[in-house]
A and B are shown apart, each in its own frame.
Chain A
């Protein structure tokens, strides 16, 4: 073999071997992820190297945590991760769709068809399907007041595939309200403005939306109030601690008085800054009805804390940078970088600020704010793996709502789109294609059916029956999806099952591309140093 001449250590696979390796890898990955798809999918338990447990149904998490080695599988996994990055959902579907495309192609290739022809068919089918998607999607008008119901339906559809039903329904309201809370008209939605905080406490159903902010640290002084109402909030990034000078400095003194004076001088500048804050407090809080909270991104040293505590100010130090931004959005006011020109305008306001202690951990809640543009989803759960699971789901739920608002369109779910698209491809597109590329279109159309098929399989239904029922209804012109409880066709619009438009579009865009690439590989070469054990 020519390569062996060039490099005797290289490994090579060619022609049908290479193709079959790719097909097998794609099918293998499909097998792994298959059981996770849909609301009836099962959970996988991942055990890390250190014995840590992760429970997940989310395709993306699974692919990330599983350390995959096969080069083909890695390529597919990367596509799925890209899917997650653009749309936040549909990773499992992507992997399954690619696997199915490969499986369908295998049949034709075994019959002697050239992969190139199939790929051409895929390309035609892909374009046609995308056009069909444009026609098929249900437009949603967003305007100033988005229709909450439709957002809830989309969020629910996404969340139910990640968590069990009761919890998913509860989170639906939370994520929809969270996104609406941070949404500003005419602006891009920045999901980072939703803080996701978790507490290991109580049950998963105690997860809630806090209109305001939850910080994962507390005040560091025992005499500060644990709970305060009507609070003015000063968000600042000012160092309130003694900082050593940059140059190497030392003191020389010859008696104790001099030293005392130096000790006082060292602190003077810090004390002055603290005093300015206290002056502001006295200005805005003349009586005992209102309180003053300082949230500082930099440090506050014990003597400063002590002075602040005596002045009745609650002070939090070393807040996270991202929280400073959110705090301003939630409470109003502005973040200040210097205490020199403090005015009452810089202050934010919150109805109540309180501290919650959970074992060693302290949490500070800033709640009852006016017109919040930032909020916190507080996840609770009895243990870490529950929390991690909810966290992943919340992330996907938020993305689903955001996508809907930005796409201004949704797609009917429960497999309705896939069946309709196949119908369109077989009945309309195939006839317009000349030659053997027709078969490529057909393979593509059949591959689309994998989603309803696996949904049915995971629910313990008979796959063939379901598909025949569904296609039968579509022939009659009814757009129907699959009812996972009964196996009967249903109208997804009535049931409120909607998928994101962008998820489907990305799926149809990326799936065939990677499948085509893999099909067109005719040689796999591993050259260079062999990392494996020499034999």
Chain B
């Protein structure tokens, strides 16, 4: 019998079986950094317009082909706790801005890699944290100075201005197709832009993916595209009023269970008749109110449908509650709970509702041109599902950038010009510091080189050459010189017209620095035994979302 007199000394003996405990510089800090580095290596090759795609198959066997870092790290289901911190930073960026997740993860990875070198040089992590914190504060100052003059005023309805700001974000996802995509996104966004652009709602730009055709067949519809057929035989209606019923178009029912009490055959016949008369009365009331289209949120009864046909009403069924709300927003209708005669105010209006067949699928296109600045839909065409998914992500990023630029329209030079300038300024700053943290600040500056380096590497250019010539240009005062990836040379970004949003950069760099500092602050990890049993797949998906 192993007596407990043999218990070893130390923490390991006090924890339950299966616990793991890592502590100290070598065991915890360096290992954490290593894990983060591995993650950054994965995302880095996807950075920029020439970034490579990744094929990710998640636990539900769904295939993703994308270079969107947010999707990649999401579907990877990172287990290592330290790397998870980076993923969380990327996610926060995705939620806050909707773009720049790759920058966050890759940059945080680079910061940590450089921190490792400092630790090996003999610096204590707390000194590195102090240095990094000073550096990020300085960066925010410099970034503010880098803002392109005149960019703080933007006309949110001017397509060219919007496209300028959006292009770099979309191009990093779909290089080569950004012109077409940007104009689609800009058109859709501008249509739904409210009076005060700051109140822009991302949800108002919808994407309908239809298999077949190509990107050039894509178009923007003012209104909604429903992926379903009309219920009845009437498939087309123009300049019509719309009545929306949430509770379905059918006979009314009580909450308590009802039973029909019938004493004789006569009554049975009469009952069916009263029922019929009642439904007809209701449908007639709807038709009398002037409505031509009836939209139901739940089931449409057979009998009700029959009368709708008779009164020449077009019937649509939208079972999703959110879709129904969007429909109400598009048409300006007020959703009624029960089938009853609608007030004239409650009716909405559509220019046209028509069922069309696109690429083998029947879709209902609801158009509302008049004053309808509520919902617009981008109809995407593409040859495979994964291409469509990837295009959709590019559009999401574009729409999110539009939202970000409505909040803060300032821009900074793109194509790595900002990064090199920040690196240069930060290096100058580090020389003025006296403490040990100056090494950390210098390393922070060095980390910025990762971005032009990666951009150049991904484009197959000679990174070292590019970086040195960039530095040379910036040293001579040309602060807006960036990389022209197509020609492989350094050029002024104002001639190439590549601008990044200030706010995206700001949040990405701040989140990255925060995540890196958090990883460095940890010196001990105590891991519980992983919960036993196979994980229910549904739960995993919920966590990641």
Contact = CB atoms under 8 A, between A and B. Distances in A.
Given A32-B11, A55-B518, A382-B514, A45 B95 contact: no
Interface in A7-65: 11, 13, 17, 21, 24-25, 27-29, 31-32, 35, 40, 42-51, 53, 55, 65
Interface in B212-262: 246, 251-262
B468 interface: no
Given A28-B10, A535-B1, A42 B524 contact: yes
Given A45-B524, A47-B81, A252-B261, A11 B3 contact: yes
A32 B5 CA distance: 21
A122 B85 CA distance: 46
Measured as residues with beta carbon below 8 angstroms from the partner, the interface class of chain A is 35 or more
B325 interface: yes
Given A67-B15, A249-B256, A256-B277, A45 B5 contact: no
Interface string A499-531: 000000000000000000000000010100010
A254 B255 contact: no
A120 interface: no
By secondary structure, the A interface counts as mixed
B523 A42 contact: yes
Contacts of A252: 258-261
B8 to A, nearest CB: 9
A242 B255 contact: yes
Interface stretch (A168-176, A196-204, A334-342): A196-204
A383 B521 contact: no
Contacts of B337: 302-303, 306
A143 interface: no
B246 A259 contact: no
Given A47-B526, A254-B261, A383-B91, A40 B278 contact: no
A66 B15 contact: yes
A223 interface: yes
A250 B256 contact: yes
Interface stretch (B159-167, B188-196, B267-275): B267-275
Contacts of B521: 42-43, 55
Given A40-B126, A47-B526, A69-B14, A11 B1 contact: yes
A17 B5 contact: yes
Query: Which of A70, A222, A530 has the most CB atoms of chain B within a 10 A radius of its CB?
Result: A222
A73 interface: yes
B523 A21 contact: no
A47 B527 contact: yes
B510 A203 contact: yes
A245 interface: yes
A432 interface: no
A421 B256 CA distance: 75
Interface in B504-528: 510-511, 514, 518, 521-528
27 contacts: A11-B4, A28-B11, A35-B523, A42-B524, A43-B518, A43-B521, A47-B81, A47-B525, A48-B528, A50-B530, A53-B81, A65-B526, A69-B14, A200-B92, A201-B95, A201-B96, A249-B256, A250-B256, A251-B259, A254-B267, A255-B274, A255-B275, A256-B277, A257-B278, A263-B252, A306-B337, A382-B514
* 8 interchain residue pairs of minimum CB distance: A382-B92, A49-B531, A251-B258, A383-B88, A252-B261, A256-B278, A47-B527, A255-B274
Interface of B: 1-5, 7, 9-11, 13-16, 19, 28, 79, 81-82, 84-85, 88-89, 91-92, 95-96, 124, 126, 246, 251-263, 267, 270-271, 274-275, 277-278, 325, 328, 334-335, 337-338, 510-511, 514, 518, 521-531
Given A45-B28, A263-B252, 9 more contacts: A42-B523, A55-B522, A66-B526, A254-B261, A254-B263, A257-B278, A259-B252, A262-B254, A532-B2
